[in-house]
């Protein structure tokens, strides 16, 4: 299931997109203006985002630009617009959009573009030799972390924990999922071991930086966020 945000001020179109995406098995959140969309972005993590261009309070260009500046390029953005002019398309791509679709469109085309973008993202993750979260870089080939130019030595377990967090950056991860993905089958399944290793990582990753990237998510577990 893919979690998708749709920001579209025309209620009928937003409802049409929402129903269609849900029929394809996606989880969908909807906002009807740019500011409401930005509020949702700051509260939740989305694997794909769909923005209309002409909207009240904040247009799609500005919303896309703000999203890219704050959260990077880990999730693709599709722009929906009634504007078909080349300049408008170029402006959307320059703001950080991955694709665009001109209204009116067939829903099957939107879903096809969504699947193409998600396949590309999955392929990028599978082949990526470097993971990046803000000023933190994790070199997967030599298992070395670098933050703000400073090299950080990691144990095998610390590396596996940091890699899992960074592969899912912006997404809260439960202690159970961390144990399952990071620890070997024969390892101690006591959930407290996760807290211990998160503290080890915080000492190495966050101690010397004003911005603390590894966050506790109350009632769930932990996440890393730029």
CB 58 within 8 A of CB 35: yes
Report pLDDT for 190.
65
Burial of 187 (0-12, 13-18, 19+ CB in 10 A): exposed
What's the rounded Cα separation, in Å, for the pair 48 and 50? 7
What's the rounded Cα separation, in Å, for the pair 205 and 169? 15
Report pLDDT for 37.
95
Give the residue from 179, 207, 212 showing the smallest Cα distance to 195.
179
Report pLDDT for 84.
63
Residue 213: count other Cβ atoms within 10 Å of its Cβ. Answer: 21
φ, ψ of residue 218 in degrees (nearest 5): -55, 130
Q: What is the pLDDT along the chain (226 residues), one digit of tens a residue?
A: 789 999 999 999 999 999 999 999 999 999 999 999 999 998 888 889 999 988 999 999 999 999 988 877 768 899 988 776 667 777 778 888 888 888 888 888 899 989 888 887 666 555 557 888 888 888 877 778 888 878 888 888 888 899 999 989 888 999 888 888 887 654 455 677 889 999 999 999 988 788 899 999 998 999 999 8
- C-alpha Rg value of the chain to the nearest Å: 19
What domains appear along the chain, each with residue ranges and CATH number? 3-126 (3.40.50.2300), 130-224 (1.10.10.10)
What's the rounded Cα separation, in Å, for the pair 23 and 45? 21
* Mean of per-residue pLDDT scores for the chain: 85
């Amino acid at each position: 299931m893919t979690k998708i945000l749709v920001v579209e001020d025309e209620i009928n179109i937003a409802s049409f997109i929402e129903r269609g995406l849900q029929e394809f098995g996606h989880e969908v959140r909807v906002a009807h203006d740019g500011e409401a969309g930005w509020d949702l972005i700051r509260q939740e993590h989305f694997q794909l985002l769909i923005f209309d261009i002409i909207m009240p309070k904040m247009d799609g260009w500005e919303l896309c630009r703000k999203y890219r500046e704050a959260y990077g390029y880990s999730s693709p953005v599709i722009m929906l617009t009634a504007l078909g002019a080349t300049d408008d398309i170029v402006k959307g791509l320059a703001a950080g959009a991955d694709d665009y679709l001109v209204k009116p469109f067939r829903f099957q085309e939107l879903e096809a573009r969504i699947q193409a973008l998600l396949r590309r993202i999955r392929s990028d993750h599978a082949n990526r030799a470097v993971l990046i979260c803000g000023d933190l870089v994790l070199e997967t080939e030599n298992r070395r972390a670098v933050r703000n130019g400073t090299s950080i030595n990691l144990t095998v377990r610390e590396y596996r924990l940091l890699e899992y967090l960074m592969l899912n950056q912006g997404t809260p991860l439960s202690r159970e999922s961390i144990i399952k993905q990071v620890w070997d089958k024969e390892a101690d399944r006591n959930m407290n071991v996760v807290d211990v290793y998160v503290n080890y990582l915080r000492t190495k990753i966050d101690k010397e930086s004003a911005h603390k990237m590894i966050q506790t998510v109350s009632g769930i577990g932990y996440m890393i966020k730029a």
